[in-house]
Amino acid sequence: MSGESPPHMLNRQRNQIGAGLVLRGIALNGLLAAVKFAGGIWGHTYALIADGVESLLDVFSSLVVWVGFKVAAQPPDENHPYGHGKAESLAALAVSLFIFAAAGWIAWHAVQEIIAPHQGPHWATLLVLVFVICSKVWFSRRMARTGDQMGSTALGVEAWHHYSDALTSGAAFVGIAIAVIGGEGYEAADDWAALLACIVIVVNGVGMFNRSLGDVMDAAVPPNLEHEVRALALGVTGVQAIDKCRVRKSGLCHLVDIHVRVDGTLSVRAGHDIAHAVKDALIDSVPHAITDVAVHIEPVD
């Protein structure tokens, strides 16, 4: 994209990586949904059919994350001078809410199955669940690792969403195994297991929701990141002290507002040059993905 600054080009590339990973997750959910439906119908287990419906719904939530990455990749414009990074955080917030809705949906249907007598599951459905669990755990870890490397809240939430699918499938595996071994009278074991998995999903979903909401509300970044920003600014020639330093997350990037103290006898031009040097030093710190810095010059007392 012509005229695009290096930090915004890096931001666009990182968002494209995230969007590509989410698309692969959509393809995986589509494949697993088909496998779950076939196994559930053939193996007489509603838990597996419900899991398949959830995988189809996951496709929708992943599309929300994908759109968030595509919007966040756009550079700043006249209406959005700080860029579109918040789209990534909003997508993460939407998915965290979707996790609660999915847990509630699974719990409601599990209760219905517990109340209504039904045929016990076939043992072969356990093989289907092993494939589903292994696929979901593997992809969840891959997505979580990429999210940590890029500092992406949306990928972190999406990774947990995939892992929550593995939890519900794992619970179904335990329940179906109990039902198969126990025989008559244990037909609802997989439904009870699904209820327990819903509790785990909701508890962890609260953490994902708080993290997403913190990004949207410009919560303070971790202290170690602020300390690194202060250290980089102090390393610039002419900077004698750091007063205020505020860092906020915007999608995969960070925006910095910093007050630096310099010799009060310096000319306006010299102070201006120091401010530019501080801004360049922070923006060039690629691991932090800082795309914009506001530097305020103050004289040393």
**Which tens digit of pLDDT belongs to each residue from 257-282?**
999 999 999 999 999 999 999 999 99
Q: Which of 130-139, 171-180, 224-233 has the lowest mean pLDDT?
A: 171-180
User: Which of 160, 155, 147, 165 has the alpha carbon at shortest distance from 66?
Assistant: 155
Whether pLDDT at 229 is above 90: yes
Name 257's bridge partners.
246, 294
Confidence of residue 297 (pLDDT cuts 50, 70, 90): very high
Q: Return the SS3 of 241.
A: strand
37-51, 175-189, 190-204, 229-243: which is most confident? 229-243
- For residue 179, the one-letter residue type is A
User: How far, in whole angstroms, is CA 117 from its chain's centroid?
Assistant: 39
Name 293's bridge partners.
256
Confidence of residue 1 (pLDDT cuts 50, 70, 90): very low
Query: What average pLDDT does this structure show over 132-137?
Result: 90
Enter the pTM of the model: 0.73
The mean of the pLDDT values for the chain is 83
Confidence of residue 4 (pLDDT cuts 50, 70, 90): low
Q: Return the SS3 of 96.
A: helix
Q: Tell me the CA distances in angstroms from 198 to 122, 170, 192, one per residue in order.
A: 23, 12, 10
Whether pLDDT at 93 is above 80: yes
Which residue segments constitute the domains of the chain, with CATH numbers given?
6-216 (1.20.1510.10), 223-299 (3.30.70.1350)
